[in-house]
């Protein structure tokens, strides 16, 4: 027996009312009823659908509770690629962006200012939501911009995402938005986790990303996620708006929530005024933002401006400077790195900086401590450098206590007790214990196994800690003597995990001379220098037998690097480890240095890669450039030959344009690598 007509009518009425009140609450920010009244209507709808299951539909508000858990996310290809943005970090970079826009649009100096749409840059997770005939059918994360993860079941749990659009929706519309977690919801989530003895989230962005990517949508349904939509992707059956601001209005009319902070501004100065205003109000917003996005408002102008790789020329993200906070410096400890360098670390009274609780901060080295006059007991200003690495920015001298203590460099290593040496005029002090120092040993082994070195997958920080603490590994050569039984006996390993690590160790034996030299962790020898040494000498034997003067003949190798190399290879312990590695089967193809140098058409050129590439990783691109004789650098200068700009290219791209360094996109890079020559 089917549902009676009055039940069907009531179900439809409740769904319409709930959709209306969701729209009033999330989109218009003008609720007509209380949360309790909304909950009561939802409960009535749930009861009716429970009694008459045939009335349940995919777009019913009751279907937000979460679907059956999945083993993994399916991939979802975006109909239109989801773009990244270039970054600006200063007012001048914003003005330079405006100048480039005007120049590319061929606007005269007397022409009116360009109109921009300005909006907060949300610190969340980018998402694409597709509606067909007004009904939500698919949602996907940004992923790599071309392919993301299908999170439809999870997106359906977010009340701010309509399951059905308002009015006469087009045949298909793809809306782009940012999922985020409000500050209050984040604090409540962490409070509940702490009460249960569970790990808390570091910041709202991590909480939002972790919540949206739950394999069980029922977990996502319990998380306080929200969303703002900010753009259209693919559209069918609808006339596209003529401006970005009209696009936002269209999204809002369809029931899609947009940021109430969006505004239209005129020219670079209008952008900067908006930025300053939002920065002042940043702490009062209910959600985290890390900057502002400016977009040329006219879609016709956007089309004329086009794209650079996967980033549009008509938009830019203006990032806020690193946030700062004041706290007490309680102690200074010294950590020992791979090359024995002692790094002073400030132990702080915990303080929240940029949404993250900071208890430790770097002091860099003794020169920095002396320059900033940092003392134990000081009140200090802590900054998250680049919004990532906490550092002590400065001391509040006016609040210095009378018993503040100067920071002293230890005379002996805090880990192994070996003497600490600081060369005259050097900023860095070092432990002289080398492999006898457990701290150096662990860091050197991490470096040896790293992806850019021997690339031993699975031999990460925790496992290295275990094998060193268990006395199983002291040098890189010992890695190749590990057995299945030794690894399986370690905590959280087991036989399958042990087999995986042993397989990775076996695969790592096939490497290149450049990678091997880099993996040895010789001071001052980075990837570029290791590649240059390999190409010049062709074999390890030739390098081992080279004199100080012969090493200096390698391009870009000066007396400091040459001294480090000859000193490293002169030590019996290092030669013994190298011999053991070769006996263990670590090998590489021999290089004919003469023919290699003749077959390097990019010799003498310096490339800088910035942003992310679609067809390969930056590491792979740099390897291929070096194979053609080029030098891959991490910084832009007047000596840079070319900058390759991928997605999210930021300050390096801006600096290249300011210095007049030629900028190439990914297509040009591929042409260079395939054709083995510069593009015409």
Q: What is the pLDDT of residues 438-457, one digit of tens each?
A: 889 898 999 999 988 999 99
* Closest by CA position to 668, among listed 625, 638, 627: 625
| Cα-based distances in Å from 316 to 227, 251, 442, 452, 632 | 21, 22, 42, 32, 26
DSSP run (H or E) holding 631: strand 631-633
Query: Same domain for 220 and 124?
Result: yes
Query: Same domain for 616 and 647?
Result: yes
Domain count, the chain: 6
What is the distance, to the nearest Å, from the Cα of residue 484 to the centroid of all Cα atoms in its chain?
35
Burial grade of 512 (CB within 10 A; 0-12, 13-18, 19 or more):
middle
Query: Same domain for 663 and 565?
Result: no
In whole angstroms, what is the distance from residue 17 CA to residue 149 CA? 32
In whole angstroms, what is the distance from residue 194 CA to residue 238 CA? 49
Query: What 3-state class would DSSP assign to 252?
Result: helix
Strands (E), 284-423: 289-296, 307-308, 311-312, 315-319, 324-336, 342-353, 356-362, 375-376, 379-385, 389-395, 405-406, 420-421
Query: Same domain for 333 and 358?
Result: yes
Query: Same domain for 645 and 666?
Result: yes
Q: Is the pLDDT of residue 210 over 70?
A: yes
Name residue, tokens 């700062």.
324
* Closest by CA position to 16, among listed 60, 52, 47: 60
Question: Structural domain of residue 645, as residue ranges?
Answer: 600-675
Looking at residue 315, its pLDDT comes to 95
Are the beta carbons of 408 and 394 closer than 8 angstroms? Answer: no
First to last CA, the chain: 76
Looking at residue 67, its pLDDT comes to 45
Alpha carbon dihedral 551, 555, 560, 565, in 10-degree steps, equals -40
Query: What 3-state class would DSSP assign to 120?
Result: strand
Looking at residue 354, its pLDDT comes to 67
Query: Same domain for 158 and 291?
Result: yes
Are the beta carbons of 127 and 155 closer than 8 angstroms? Answer: yes
- pLDDT, tens digit, for every residue of 134-179? 999 999 988 877 888 899 999 999 988 999 998 888 999 999 999 9
Whether 77 maps to a domain, the answer reads no
Phi-psi category of residue 232: left, alpha or beta, with phi > 0 → left and psi -120 to 50 → alpha: beta
Whether 427 maps to a domain, the answer reads no
Whether 382 maps to a domain, the answer reads yes
* Closest by CA position to 408, among listed 372, 370, 382: 370
Catalytic residue among 121, 252, 295, 652: 121
- pLDDT, tens digit, for every residue of 61-85? 776 554 444 457 788 888 888 888 8
pLDDT category, 310, cuts 50, 70, 90? low
pLDDT category, 110, cuts 50, 70, 90? very high
Whether 494 maps to a domain, the answer reads yes
Query: What 3-state class would DSSP assign to 158?
Result: coil
Mean pLDDT of 519-546: 88
In whole angstroms, what is the distance from residue 336 CA to residue 441 CA? 10
Burial grade of 53 (CB within 10 A; 0-12, 13-18, 19 or more):
exposed
In whole angstroms, what is the distance from residue 396 CA to residue 374 CA? 10
Are the beta carbons of 484 and 502 closer than 8 angstroms? Answer: yes
- List of residues 6+ apart from 349 with CB closer than 8 A: 327, 328, 330
> Is 121 tagged catalytic?
yes
> What CATH number corresponds to the domain at position 454?
1.10.150.20
Q: Is the pLDDT of residue 385 over 80?
A: no
Query: Same domain for 130 and 232?
Result: yes
Q: For 202-266, where are the alpha helices, taking DSSP H only?
A: 204-212, 217-221, 244-253
pLDDT higher at 613 or 317: 317
CB atoms within 10 A of CB 543: 19
Looking at residue 513, its pLDDT comes to 92
Last residue of some domain: 280, 302, 319?
319
Query: Same domain for 380 and 300?
Result: no
Task: Give the orientation angle of helix 204-212 with respect to helix 183-195, to 10 degrees.
Answer: 80
> What CATH number corresponds to the domain at position 163?
3.30.470.30
Burial grade of 518 (CB within 10 A; 0-12, 13-18, 19 or more):
buried
Least confident interval from 199-203, 266-270, 458-462 = 199-203
Query: Same domain for 624 and 564?
Result: no
Mean pLDDT of 390-409: 92
Whether 406 maps to a domain, the answer reads yes
Q: Percent of the chain at pLDDT above 70?
A: 94
Query: Same domain for 463 and 346?
Result: no
In whole angstroms, what is the distance from residue 479 CA to residue 463 CA? 11
What sign does the CA torsion over 664, 662, 301, 314 have?
A: positive
CB atoms within 10 A of CB 409: 13
Whether 79 maps to a domain, the answer reads no
- pLDDT, tens digit, for every residue of 322-375? 678 899 999 999 999 888 889 999 999 999 886 678 999 989 888 889 889 999
Q: What is the DSSP letter of 61?
A: G
Whether 542 maps to a domain, the answer reads yes
Query: Which tokens is 309 given?
Result: 């790789």
What is the distance, to the nearest Å, from the Cα of residue 549 to the centroid of all Cα atoms in its chain?
42
Burial 479-501 (b: 16+ CB within 10 A, else e): bbebeeeebbebeebeeeebeeb
Q: For 617-665, where are the alpha helices, taking DSSP H only?
A: 618-627, 651-659
Query: Which tokens is 220 given?
Result: 């996502």
In whole angstroms, what is the distance from residue 173 CA to residue 431 CA? 62
Looking at residue 660, its pLDDT comes to 86
Angle (CA) 306-312-314 rounded to 5° is 80
Last residue of some domain: 595, 622, 640?
595
Query: Which tokens is 249 given?
Result: 């209005």
Least confident interval from 252-261, 512-521, 633-642 = 633-642
Whether 20 maps to a domain, the answer reads yes
Looking at residue 14, its pLDDT comes to 85
- Length of the chain in residues, anyone? 680
Query: What 3-state class would DSSP assign to 13?
Result: helix
Looking at residue 250, its pLDDT comes to 93
Q: 606-610 and 631-633 as β-strands: parallel, antiparallel, unpaired?
A: parallel
Q: Is the pLDDT of residue 55 over 70?
A: yes
In whole angstroms, what is the distance from residue 571 CA to residue 582 CA? 17
What phi, psi does 506 have (nearest 5°)?
Answer: -65, -40
Query: Same domain for 242 and 170?
Result: yes
| Cα-based distances in Å from 35 to 138, 158, 421 | 28, 16, 67
> What CATH number corresponds to the domain at position 56?
1.10.287.610
Q: Is the pLDDT of residue 301 over 90?
A: yes
Are the beta carbons of 630 and 603 closer than 8 angstroms? Answer: yes
Last residue of some domain: 595, 626, 641?
595
Query: Same domain for 161 and 121?
Result: yes
């Amino acid at each position: 027996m089917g549902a009676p007509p009055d039940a069907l009518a009531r179900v439809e009425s409740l769904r319409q009312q709930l959709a209306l009140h969701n729209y009033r609450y999330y989109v218009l920010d003008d609720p007509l009823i209380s949360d309790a009244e909304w909950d009561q209507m939802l409960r009535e709808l749930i009861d009716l659908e429970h009694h008459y299951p045939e009335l349940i539909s995919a777009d019913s508000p009751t279907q937000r509770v979460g679907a059956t858990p999945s083993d993994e996310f399916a991939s979802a290809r975006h109909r239109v690629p989801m773009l990244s943005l270039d970054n600006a970090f200063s007012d001048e970079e914003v003005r330079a962006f405006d100048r480039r826009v005007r120049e590319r649009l061929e606007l005269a100096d007397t022409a009116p200012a360009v109109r921009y749409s300005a909006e907060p840059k949300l610190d969340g997770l980018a998402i694409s939501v597709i509606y067909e005939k007004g009904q939500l059918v698919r949602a996907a994360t940004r992923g790599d911009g071309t392919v993301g993860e299908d999170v439809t079941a999870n997106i359906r749990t977010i009340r701010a995402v309509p399951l059905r659009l308002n009015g006469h929706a087009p045949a298909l519309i793809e809306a782009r938005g940012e999922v985020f977690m409000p500050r209050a919801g984040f604090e409540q989530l962490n409070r509940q986790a702490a009460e249960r003895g569970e790990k808390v989230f570091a910041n709202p962005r991590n909480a939002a990303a972790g919540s949206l990517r739950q394999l069980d949508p029922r977990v996502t349904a319990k998380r306080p996620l929200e969303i703002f939509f900010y753009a259209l992707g693919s559209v069918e059956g609808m006339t596209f708006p003529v401006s970005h601001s009209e696009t936002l209005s269209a999204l809002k009319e369809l029931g899609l929530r947009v940021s109430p902070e969006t505004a239209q501004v005129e020219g670079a100065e209008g952008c900067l005024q908006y930025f300053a205003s939002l920065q002042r109000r940043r702490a009062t917003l209910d959600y985290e933002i890390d900057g502002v996005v400016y977009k040329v408002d006219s879609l016709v102008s956007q089309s004329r401006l086009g794209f650079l790789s996967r980033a549009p020329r008509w938009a830019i993200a203006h990032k806020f400077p690193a946030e700062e906070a004041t706290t007490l410096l309680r102690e200074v400890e010294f950590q020992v790195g791979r090359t024995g360098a002692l790094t002073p670390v400030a132990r702080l009274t915990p303080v929240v900086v940029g949404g993250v609780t900071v208890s430790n901060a770097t002091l860099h080295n003794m020169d920095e401590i002396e320059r900033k006059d940092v003392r134990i007991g000081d009140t200090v200003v802590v900054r998250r450098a680049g919004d990532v690495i906490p550092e002590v920015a400065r001391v509040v001298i006016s609040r210095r206590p009378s018993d503040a203590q100067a920071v002293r460099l230890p005379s002996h290593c805090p880990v192994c007790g070996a003497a600490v040496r600081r060369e005259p005029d050097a900023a860095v002090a070092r432990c002289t214990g080398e492999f006898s120092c457990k701290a150096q040993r662990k860091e050197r082994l991490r470096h040896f196994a790293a992806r850019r070195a021997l690339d031993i997958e699975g031999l990460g920080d925790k496992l290295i800690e275990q094998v060193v603490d268990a006395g199983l590994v002291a040098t890189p050569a010992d890695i190749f003597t590990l057995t299945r039984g030794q690894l399986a006996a370690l905590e959280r390993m087991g036989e399958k995990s042990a087999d995986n690590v042993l397989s990775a160790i076996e695969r790592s034996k096939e490497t290149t001379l450049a990678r091997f030299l880099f993996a040895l962790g010789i001071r001052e020898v980075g990837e570029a220098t290791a590649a240059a040494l390999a190409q010049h000498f062709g074999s390890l034997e030739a390098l081992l037998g080279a004199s100080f003067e012969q090493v200096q003949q390698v391009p870009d190798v000066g007396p400091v690097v040459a001294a480090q190399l000859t000193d490293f290879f002169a030590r019996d312990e290092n030669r013994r480890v190298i011999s053991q590695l070769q006996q263990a089967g670590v090998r590489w193809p021999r290089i004919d240095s003469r023919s290699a140098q003749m077959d390097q058409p990019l010799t003498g050129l310096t490339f800088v890669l910035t942003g992310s590439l679609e067809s390969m990783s930056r590491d792979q691109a740099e390897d291929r450039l070096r194979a053609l004789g080029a030098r891959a650098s991490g910084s832009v200068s007047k000596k840079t030959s070319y900058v390759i700009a991928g997605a999210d290219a930021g300050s390096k791209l801006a600096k290249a344009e300011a210095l007049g360094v030629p900028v190439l996109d990914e297509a040009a890079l591929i042409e260079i690598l395939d054709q083995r020559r510069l593009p015409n």
